[in-house]
């Protein structure tokens, strides 16, 4: 994007535009129809309207001149085609009809990419005349001060309006801040600098800010109470503070980035939009946005303007709180932001031009002084404004937190104002939120009154039910509670910086998220709680509110481990909550609305969902007291993803583009019934590398309001738009539809050219036909019609893998690479040496050169010795580190894009059409990883290599061969005594006894029986005839097993095993749920018998077999239509089934309901009938969630028959792995000198408090403090915390707060009480000394930068050793061996 913008600017500078103009010489903004539309204000007719018409001739000539030059903007072309009559009315000055709304001012596509358009100009100075503008009456409601009857003072909620203060008498007398005249604001700041007292400087500056209102009057009548308007009539009052010329100079400085420093916004027709491109904000592009009606918001102007920084630094001391600022530049006749309220105290300083403001009181008590800002509000949600005024240069407007406000520019002038803000999260509640938990914890430790138990039988006289009863016991209970509350007071020791150290037995519970504060909505979230008691029972409750304010809740019951820690990735939820079992993400997927049948829908993808998590004591209903709480944001837009509204021709859509200038595979996303424009799915896909167009087709803007008639030409126009987009990869795009949006892709595909199958977006890869797909596979994918989803191969193996696991959170260990060069490159795995086959694997390489090009090659051999390989081409970051969770693979390898697990899912066999199958699940696959130099073919020399084991059996899972009666199977039981939910797993055509799927499910809490039914031991060798009595015997075996939970079992079948599962569910008892992968609703391949019932196999026609050029047989069309003639006898009578068919969380499927009644087929009434040879297209799209099955399938169709997707939710809890990305390497920080760490006392008792200080750091430098100790058996324990040095380069753990790591906040002893086992070998090991005569030696290290626990830390800057003794000098230890007494007696020193 930045490159494109630079090219455009260079062409303009060298071509028709001549040399760049200085800010002062830029022509005034003319506001012609070709640039943007204007708002028609009341009073637009009459002389002003005629003046506009008189100026119209000149404007028309300019417009024709631009048309001849071929420089009409795309926006003007669109507007001319969309509403010529409306434009003509605007040009004549005719006001809009009653109820009319102004057109939306949007940047044209060319402007967003830095190209096209007419001459760009900066906004006009305040004195510039703008021809053709409609004059607005200066008198506006609310501009004069209103007093209540009787002449009393205004009420606290009423705004205050001051008279103009243009004369000297009106200005405050005396003081250096009496006026800004004489040097403007810079001169005022220089005069204030002569005052030695900083508090006086701050008071004088604030007096100048609110003059002529006295600061005391302001604090008593307006601060946090009511708005204040100060009219000064002095346009030069803020002279020198900030100007449009300063804005332009900052843009030309080359340091302004879109999104980071500058926002481009618009608000029209009730829609607030952000139009930020990616990269540097070039002046030509920014002013082009401005000319097209967009507002410009410069974030933190103090970073660019010394004057603004100086002003805020002085005001900060007055407020006693952080002070910030934003500047807003708005074109005439436009509005940039929707109505909203903020969480800050706002001072609006009008610097140039005029702006029309409307301020509204808080609507409810909850909006008075809110803790957080609001979302965008609609005009219908607002009442009557308490203040409506036109703010002119030199004026001031103040409004407190919670007051709704909106500002729009008048058509005759632009507006430049700066908003000074303060008091964000600076309330009593925010302070008490930190102090009260600490004070209560101290009270529990020091005062026995707080630890006494509640009176026995108190529930008989307390509570709401007994509130009316007169009972002395109730009175005494309340009085005791009031006494305890009075005793609970905050002493100076509880001020941050004075918190006492917490011992191992009294530390407060803390919640840790991974990622820490925010994550993508589809990104796994790691949740852990520390500081609980051993084996303590707690309830975790999650809640969030949607945009309509509806509450969603879920809770899980847990028991902490022996070390007082609760990690949801390791600890299963106990029965009684919203879910049970090992569910790391259970608190999120189990969220249920309080309002019945309410759906969680996201409309504004630019704002996050806020997830609230509470830890409550016990398992009661309701649970006990609150132990800890935290908040986490779930985002819908990754940083850098661009949201581009599309209004070209008839298209009404939003395009989401991933970061960068590459070509991306394109998708059109169409929602279902309800209409409108749903963007959440498109934004999530864009986060993972897809250019996605969220397309509306009815009930949105000027589209049809009813879905009575749809024209495919509209969708064809959207397809052509995507195919012509410069950042969409051809030759085709993919379609994604939901509900009503699903049938659109099928006819659209037939009608549109260049449109691939909706199930397989993007161009075919080379060699697809040779792998079994080819054109035949693409043409036959009409079976995906009702879902119109992405292809199974691409979505499951790539996109879903990426959605489920973005990267590793910790690296418990680093494997040393075998380096063959002097760079000593090392490969890091997470987990370090071994992991489960379906567990995400983090891969990173360190020690490479900056921007070095390398090839990573992965390989493994199956049990037959066949080799599977994959490779990816990468470019190393500037710091020499390559993290596959952050660095995208470059084109030319087995895959490209950001694919953390690409080296695993892209493994291909050297022997064509060979599948990766695991027969012996007790042995692992050994993955070899090599780092090779360069991108050649073959690549260069070997830089590093490492090996990793991929296991199939978790430690403790039992494998039990079963040979009872006729049963030939293997039972896998999870660790523990159970009982566990039972599953019978049936494989497909090929026979034998594959166990890999059963053992993987057993790793997550299921008792799974892998059942063979032919081609194994003494079972039939061929698939000719099956008897359901054999499968009934297996069901009875599972139901009678002592470790299988009743009253029924679940069935999981693949291919032929799928239709056997459906037959079992139809005829046998004891089945509660069934899940089928790629199965059929008809009996296929063999005769099926049960008692006196016989179901023949579905007929086939061998003549329909096709042999492709590679000699591969295509059997897709072999089977007959089960709805025709005698083939109907092969249908499985699913209407007899008594079990449930659910959609599992582990599978992405189509749920097709069965029609009840004799002789009815399982079908979908809305599925397109016919297809090829008139067969119904009953389809399934199944994918392992976050992993590929161990069996590797050829690309294309993986099964011979169509399938009904009948799913079971109980098979869902496959592990949602919650790992954060690898921590970035520490950035080099400046050193002030030798860094030292001092821990005093260096030798002391184990329960004695120590004081830890670090000196010699740079101001604000980021460091990681780590403590390491080994017990007497050699087990390593460690802890770490993130800190930043103060302004003097010093760090004191007694006063400075930790920002992350194993704990947060001020914890003087945190490095010691948070010591935990290092690595994963012994996660439950406790640090217990056996010999009290030897000290525990703790090493404290200071590492450069911030790094997480278990990660590779930065360089060691300083270290110190501390000895922690368990016996003081002189204490005597006497062994006792008297009688049966065995012990040790410790006697203090002395007699």
Instruction: Give the per-residue pLDDT at 563.
Output: 81
Who has greater pLDDT, 1234 or 782? 1234
Residue 685: predicted pLDDT: 93
The CB density around residue 190, as the number of other CB atoms within 10 Å, is 12
- Its pTM surpasses 0.85: no
Q: How confident is the model at residue 1098 (pLDDT cuts 50, 70, 90)?
A: confident
Q: Of the given ranges (925-934, 1209-1218, 1234-1243), which has the lowest mean pLDDT?
A: 1209-1218
pLDDT for residue 241 is more than 90:
yes
pLDDT at 557 over 90: yes
155-194 tens-digit pLDDT: 334 444 444 333 333 333 344 444 444 678 999 999 998 9
Tell me the per-residue pLDDT of 942-966, one tens digit each, with 9 for 90 and over. Answer: 999 999 999 999 888 999 999 999 9
- Residue 7 pLDDT class (50, 70, 90 cuts): very low
Q: Are strands 867-875 and 908-909 parallel, antiparallel or unpaired?
A: antiparallel
Percentages of the chain per state (helix, strand, coil), in multiples of 5: 20, 25, 55
Position 764 scores a pLDDT of 36
Residues 974-986 as b or e (16 or more Cβ within 10 Å = b):
beeebebbbbbbb
Confidence band, pLDDT 50/70/90 cuts, at residue 1154: very low
What pLDDT score was predicted for residue 1116? 80
DSSP string, 1248-1261: S--EEEEESPPTT-
Mean pLDDT to the nearest integer, 502-520: 71
Rounded mean pLDDT, 1193-1212? 30
Q: Say if residue 1264's pLDDT is above 50.
A: yes
Query: Residue 1379: which pLDDT band, with cuts at 50, 70 and 90?
Result: confident
Which of 361-375, 847-861, 889-903, 1113-1127 comes out lowest in average pLDDT?
1113-1127
pLDDT in tens, 1106-1128: 888 777 888 888 888 887 888 88
What is the rounded distance in angstroms from the CA atom of residue 3 to the CA atom of residue 15? 18
Whether the pLDDT of residue 1233 is over 80: the answer is: no
pLDDT at 696: 92
Whole-number pLDDT of residue 262 = 95
Task: Give Cβ neighbours of residue 468 (< 8 Å, ≥ 6 apart).
Answer: none
Q: Where is pLDDT greater, at 747 or 508?
A: 508
The average confidence (pLDDT) of the chain is: 75
Contacts of 1334 (CB under 8 A, 6+ apart): none
Residue 1021, both tokens: 């060798």
What is the per-residue pLDDT for 1249? 87
**Percent of the chain residues topping a pLDDT of 70:** 72
Q: Is the pLDDT of residue 3 over 50?
A: no
Of 235-239, 343-347, 469-473, 907-911, the range with the lowest mean pLDDT is: 469-473
| 349-372: average pLDDT | 94
pLDDT score recorded for residue 1121 = 83
pLDDT at 265: 96
pLDDT at 597 over 80: yes
Query: 616-652 burial, b if ≥16 CB within 10 A, otherwise e?
Result: bbebeeebeeebbebebbbbbbbeebbbbbbbbeebb
Residue whose tokens read 């250019």: 691
b (16+ CB within 10 A) / e for 403-440: bbbbbbbbbbbbbbbbbbbbbbeeeeeeeeebeebbbe
Local confidence band at 450 (pLDDT 50, 70, 90 cut-offs)? confident
**Non-local CB neighbours of 416 within 8 Å, separated by 6+ positions:** 123, 242, 243, 244, 247, 327, 328, 329, 330, 350, 351, 352, 353
Examine the pLDDT at 1173 and tell me if it is beyond 50: no
257 contacts 279 by C-beta, under 8 angstroms: yes
Winning range, highest mean pLDDT, from 1017-1026, 1151-1160, 1175-1184, 1362-1371: 1017-1026
Give 856's pLDDT tier (boundaries 50, 70, 90).
Answer: very high
Q: Residues with Cβ < 8 Å from 40, sequence gap 6 or more?
A: 90, 93, 94, 95, 96, 100, 102, 134
Strand partners, 736: 669
The more confidently predicted of residues 1121 and 46 is: 1121
Q: What is the pLDDT of residues 1277-1335, one digit of tens each?
A: 888 888 988 888 899 998 888 888 888 888 888 888 888 887 655 666 778 777 777 88
pLDDT of residue 489: 54
pLDDT confidence of residue 63: 53
Least confident interval from 132-141, 592-601, 937-946: 132-141
- Predicted local confidence at residue 742, as pLDDT: 60
Describe the crossing of helices 198-210 and 184-193 by its angle, rounded to 10 degrees.
150
Looking at the chain, the whole-number percentage of residues with pLDDT higher than 90 is: 37
pLDDT at 542: 95
For the ranges 631-640, 755-764, 801-810, 874-883, the lowest mean pLDDT is seen at 801-810
What pLDDT sits at residue 1106?
85
Q: Please tell me which residue, 1373 or 1170, carries the higher pLDDT value.
A: 1373
Higher-pLDDT residue of 747, 224: 224
Find the mean pLDDT for residues 776-804: 33
d(CA 1317, CA 1319): 6
pLDDT at 867 over 60: yes
d(CA 1164, CA 104): 43
CA 1179 to each of CA 1128, 1150, 1203, 1214: distance values in angstroms, whole numbers, following the listed order = 18, 7, 5, 23
Whether residue 613 is predicted with pLDDT greater than 90 in this model: the reply is yes
Tell me the pLDDT tens digit for each residue of 1065-1083: 999 989 988 988 888 888 8
Task: List the beta bridge partners of residue 857.
Answer: 871, 930
Q: What's the pLDDT band for 1150 if we cut at 50, 70, 90?
A: very low
pLDDT per residue as tens digits for the range 699-745: 898 898 887 888 899 999 999 999 999 999 988 999 999 887 664 44
Q: Is the pLDDT of residue 776 over 90?
A: no
**803/306: higher pLDDT:** 306
Contact 999, 1008 (CB under 8 A): yes
Kindly state the DSSP code that residue 301 receives in the 8-state scheme.
G
**At residue 775, does pLDDT exceed 70?**
no
The per-residue pLDDT for 376 is 93
* pLDDT value for 58: 53
């Amino acid at each position: 994007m930045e490159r494109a913008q630079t090219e455009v600017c260079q062409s303009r500078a060298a071509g028709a535009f001549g040399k760049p103009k200085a800010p002062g010489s830029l022509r005034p903004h003319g506001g012609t129809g070709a640039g943007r539309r204007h708002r028609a204000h009341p009073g637009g007719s009459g002389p002003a309207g005629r003046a506009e018409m008189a100026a119209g001739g000149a404007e028309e000539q300019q417009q024709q001149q631009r048309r001849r030059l071929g420089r009409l903007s795309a926006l003007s072309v669109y507007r001319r085609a969309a509403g010529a009559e409306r434009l003509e009315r605007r040009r004549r000055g005719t006001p809009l009809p009653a109820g009319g709304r102004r057109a939306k001012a949007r940047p044209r596509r060319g402007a967003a990419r830095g190209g096209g358009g007419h001459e760009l100009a900066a906004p006009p100075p305040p004195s510039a005349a703008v021809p053709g503008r409609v004059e607005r009456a200066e008198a506006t409601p609310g501009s004069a001060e209103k007093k209540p009857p009787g002449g009393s003072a205004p009420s606290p909620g009423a705004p205050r309006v001051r008279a103009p203060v243009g004369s000297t008498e009106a200005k405050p007398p005396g003081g250096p801040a009496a006026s800004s005249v004489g040097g403007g604001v810079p001169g005022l700041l220089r005069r204030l600098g002569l005052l030695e007292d900083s508090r006086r400087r701050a008071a004088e500056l604030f007096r100048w800010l609110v003059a002529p209102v006295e600061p005391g009057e302001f604090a008593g009548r307006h601060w946090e109470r009511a708005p204040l308007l100060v009219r000064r009539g002095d346009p030069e009052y803020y002279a020198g503070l900030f100007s449009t010329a300063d804005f332009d100079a900052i843009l030309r400085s080359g340091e302004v980035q879109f999104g980071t420093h500058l926002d481009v916004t618009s608000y029209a027709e009730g829609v607030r939009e952000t139009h930020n491109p990616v990269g540097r904000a070039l002046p030509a592009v920014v002013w082009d946005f401005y000319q097209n009606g967009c507002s410009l918001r410069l974030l933190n102007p103090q970073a660019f303007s010394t004057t603004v920084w100086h002003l805020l630094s002085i005001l900060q001391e007055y407020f006693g709180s952080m002070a910030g600022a934003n500047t807003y530049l708005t074109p005439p006749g436009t509005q940039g932001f929707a109505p909203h309220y903020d969480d800050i105290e706002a001072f609006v300083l009008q610097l140039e031009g005029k702006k029309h403001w409307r301020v509204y009181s808080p609507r409810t008590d909850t909006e008075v002084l809110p803790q957080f800002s609001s979302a965008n509000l609609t005009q219908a949600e607002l009442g009557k404004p308490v203040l409506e005024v036109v703010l002119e240069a030199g004026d001031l407007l103040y409004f407190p937190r919670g007051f709704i406000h909106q500002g729009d520019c008048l058509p005759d002038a632009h507006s430049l104002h700066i908003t000074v803000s303060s008091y964000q999260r600076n309330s009593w509640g925010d302070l008490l939120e930190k102090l009260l938990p600490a004070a209560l914890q101290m009270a529990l430790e020091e005062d026995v009154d707080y630890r006494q138990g509640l009176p026995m039988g108190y529930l008989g006289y307390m509570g709401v039910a007994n509130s009316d009863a007169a009972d002395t016991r109730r009175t005494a209970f309340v009085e005791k509670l009031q006494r305890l509350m009075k005793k609970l007071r905050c002493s100076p020791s509880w001020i941050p910086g004075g918190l006492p150290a917490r011992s191992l037995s009294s530390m407060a519970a803390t919640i840790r998220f991974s990622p820490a504060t925010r994550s993508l909505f589809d990104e796994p979230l790691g949740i852990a709680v520390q500081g609980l008691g051993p084996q303590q029972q707690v309830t975790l409750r999650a809640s969030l509110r949607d945009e309509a304010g509806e509450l969603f809740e879920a809770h899980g019951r847990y028991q902490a481990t022996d070390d007082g820690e609760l990690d949801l990735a390791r600890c299963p939820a106990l029965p009684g909550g919203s879910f049970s079992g090992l569910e790391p993400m259970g608190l999120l997927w189990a969220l249920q609305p309080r309002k019945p049948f309410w759906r969680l829908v996201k409309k504004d993808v630019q704002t996050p969902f806020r997830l609230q998590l509470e830890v409550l004591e016990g398992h009661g209903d309701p649970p006990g007291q609150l132990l800890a709480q935290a908040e986490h944001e779930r985002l819908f837009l990754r940083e850098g993803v661009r949201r581009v509204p599309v209004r070209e021709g008839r298209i009404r859509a939003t395009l989401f583009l991933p970061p960068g200038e590459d070509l991306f595979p394109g998708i059109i996303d169409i929602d279902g019934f309800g209409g409108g424009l749903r963007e959440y799915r498109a934004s999530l896909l864009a986060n993972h590398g897809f250019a996605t167009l969220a397309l509306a087709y009815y009930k949105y803007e000027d589209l049809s309001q009813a879905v009575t008639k749809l024209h495919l030409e509209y969708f064809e126009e959207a397809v052509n738009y995507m195919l012509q987009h410069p950042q969409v990869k051809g030759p085709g795009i993919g379609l994604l539809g939901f509900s009503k949006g699903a049938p659109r892709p099928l006819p659209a595909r037939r009608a549109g050219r260049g449109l691939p199958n909706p199930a397989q977006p993007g161009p075919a890869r080379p060699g697809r036909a040779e792998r079994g797909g080819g054109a035949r596979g693409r043409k036959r994918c009409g079976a995906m019609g009702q879902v119109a989803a992405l292809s199974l191969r691409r979505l499951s193996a790539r996109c879903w893998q990426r959605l489920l696991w973005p990267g590793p959170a910790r690296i418990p260990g680093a494997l040393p690479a075998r380096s063959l060069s002097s760079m000593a490159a090392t490969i890091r795995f997470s987990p370090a040496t071994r992991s489960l086959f379906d567990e995400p694997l983090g891969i990173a390489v360190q020690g490479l050169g900056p921007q070095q090009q390398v090839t990573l090659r992965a390989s493994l051999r199956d049990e037959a010795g066949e080799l599977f390989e994959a490779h990816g081409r990468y470019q190393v970051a500037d710091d020499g580190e390559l993290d596959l969770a952050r660095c995208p693979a470059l084109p030319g390898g087995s895959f490209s894009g950001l694919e953390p697990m690409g080296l695993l899912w892209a493994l291909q066999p050297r022997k064509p059409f060979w599948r990766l199958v695991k027969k012996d699940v007790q042995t692992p696959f050994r993955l070899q990883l090599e780092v090779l130099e360069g991108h050649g073919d073959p690549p260069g020399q070997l830089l590093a290599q490492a090996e990793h084991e991929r296991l199939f059996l978790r430690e403790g899972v039992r494998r039990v061969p079963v040979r009872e009666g006729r049963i030939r199977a293997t039972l896998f039981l999870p660790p523990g005594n159970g009982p566990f939910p039972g599953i019978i797993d049936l494989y497909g055509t090929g026979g034998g006894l594959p166990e890999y799927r059963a053992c993987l499910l057993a790793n997550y809490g299921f008792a799974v029986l892998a059942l063979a039914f032919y081609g194994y031991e003494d079972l039939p060798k061929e698939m000719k005839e099956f008897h359901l009595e054999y499968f009934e015997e297996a069901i009875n075996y599972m139901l009678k097993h002592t470790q299988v939970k009743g009253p029924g079992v679940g069935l999981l079948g693949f291919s032929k095993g799928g239709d056997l599962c459906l037959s079992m569910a139809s005829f046998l008892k004891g089945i509660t749920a069934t899940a089928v992968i790629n199965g059929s609703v008809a009996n296929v391949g063999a005769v099926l018998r049960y008692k006196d019932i016989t179901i023949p196999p579905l007929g086939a026609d061998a003549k329909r077999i096709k042999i492709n050029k590679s000699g591969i047989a295509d059997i897709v069309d072999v089977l007959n239509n089960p709805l025709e003639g005698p083939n109907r006898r092969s249908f499985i009578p699913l209407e007899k089934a008594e079990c449930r068919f659910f959609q599992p969380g582990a599978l992405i499927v189509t749920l097709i309901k069965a029609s009840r009644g004799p002789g009815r087929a399982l079908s979908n009434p809305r599925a397109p009938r016919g297809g090829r040879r008139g067969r119904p297209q009953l389809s399934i799209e199944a994918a392992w969630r976050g992993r590929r099955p161990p069996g590797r399938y050829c690309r294309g169709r993986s099964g011979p028959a169509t399938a009904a997707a009948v799913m079971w939710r109980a098979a869902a809890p496959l592990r949602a792995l919650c790992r954060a990305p690898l921590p970035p390497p520490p950035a080099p920080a400046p050193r002030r000198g030798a860094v030292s760490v001092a821990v005093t006392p260096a030798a002391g008792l184990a329960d004695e408090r120590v004081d830890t200080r670090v000196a010699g750091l740079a101001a604000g430098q980021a460091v990681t403090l780590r403590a390491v100790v080994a017990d007497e058996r050699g087990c390593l324990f460690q802890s770490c915390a993130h800190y930043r040095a103060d302004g003097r380069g010093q760090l004191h753990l007694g006063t400075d707060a930790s920002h992350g790591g194993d704990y947060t906040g001020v914890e003087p002893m945190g490095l010691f009480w948070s010591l935990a086992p290092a690595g994963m070998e012994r996660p439950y090991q406790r640090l217990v000394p056996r010999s009290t005569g030897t000290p525990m030696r703790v090493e404290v290290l200071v590492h450069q930068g911030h790094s997480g626990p278990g990660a590779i830390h930065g360089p060691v800057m300083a270290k110190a050793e501390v000895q922690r003794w368990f016996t003081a000098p002189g204490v005597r230890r006497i062994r006792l061996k008297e009688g049966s007494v065995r012990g040790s007696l410790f006697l203090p020193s002395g007699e």
